[in-house]
Chains A and B, each alone.
Chain A
Amino acid sequence: MAKIFKHRTDVAYFDYKDFKTLQRYVDQYGRIETRKKTGLTESQQRRLAIAIKRARHLALMPFVAKA
């Protein structure tokens, strides 16, 4: 499986308000990509998931997107 990001990300922390960045880590249906694809470390992926879920709560990102 091809990684979206070949290099280690330099995003120090994921902000739920910065949905433009978060958008890169979900697929066309709005699902969070796996670590295999994102290439993040375990703790980064965990924080990413929390940020995306917060963004979803505020309707900045969709729970389910139509393709």
Chain B
Amino acid sequence: MNEYEIAILFDPDLEVDLEKATSKIEKILADNKAKVTATDNWGKRKLAYQIKKHDNAVYVIYTAEVPGENVQKIENILNITEEVIRFLIVRVDQKAVAKAEAEKVRKAEQAAKRSDREDKEEDEE
């Protein structure tokens, strides 16, 4: 089981009944033993260029634990799913994410130290 990010662009005409489309995708994922850990709905966005004659699309990004051998199967199904106009499945780079988190913590500490020092200087004055 690896962590994957599954970004899906839905047909904008389905926005009114997005529930139906998302539940269909969730069913596909569940059928392939994918465990969805997070869902991020960006809503309707303008596309940088036309895709299948559409100017807009509804962006939904899933984070899921998927057995590696099923990724290809999910891709095959998404390719023939009409509601989906574009998708992207990528492995989450755990190392990079951890590094970014560490960097954030380090920065916060530095900022805290800096403000401490400033406080002291103010006290001296």
* Residues in B whose Cβ lies below 8 Å from that of A58: 7, 9, 59, 86, 88
Q: For the side of the interface on A, what is the size category?
A: 10 to 19
B78 at the interface (CB under 8 A from A): no
| Secondary structure dominating the interface of B | strand
CB pair A12–B99 under 8 Å, yes or no, is yes
Q: How far is the CA of A4 from the CA of B48 in the complex (A)?
A: 24
Tell me whether A13 and B48 are in contact in the complex, defined as CB-CB below 8 angstroms, given that A57-B88, A58-B9, A59-B86 are known contacts: no
Instruction: Please indicate the chain A residues that have their CB under 8 angstroms from the CB of B49 in the complex.
Output: 59, 62-63
Query: Would you call A17 an interface residue if the criterion is a C-beta within 8 Å of the partner chain's C-beta atoms?
Result: yes
Question: Which of these binds chain A: B26-34, B89-97, B117-125?
Answer: B89-97
Looking at chain A's contact residues, the main secondary structure is loop
Shortest C-beta distance, A26 to chain B (Å), equals 11
User: In the complex, A62 Cα to B107 Cα: how many Å?
Assistant: 33
Provide the bound-state CA to CA distance between A59 and B85, in Å: 11
With contacts A60-B48, A63-B49 taken as known, whether A13 is within 8 angstroms of B97 at the C-beta atoms is yes
CB-CB < 8 A to B102: which residues of A? 12
The distance from the CB of B10 to the nearest CB of chain A, in whole angstroms, is 12
A61 at interface (Cβ–Cβ under 8 A)?
yes
> Which A residues touch B90, using CB under 8 A?
16, 54
- Contact for B100 among A13, A60, A63, CB less than 8 A: A13
Residues of A within 8 A of B107 (CB): 10
Q: How far is the CB of B45 from chain A (nearest CB, A)?
A: 8
With an 8 A cutoff between CB atoms, is B47 at the interface?
yes
Interface pair A12/B86, CB less than 8 Å apart: no
| B contact residues vs A (CB 8 Å cutoff) | 7, 9, 47-49, 51, 57, 59, 61, 86, 88, 90, 93, 96-97, 99-100, 102-103, 107
Footprint of B on A, CB under 8 Å?
A: 10, 12-13, 16-17, 47, 54, 56-63
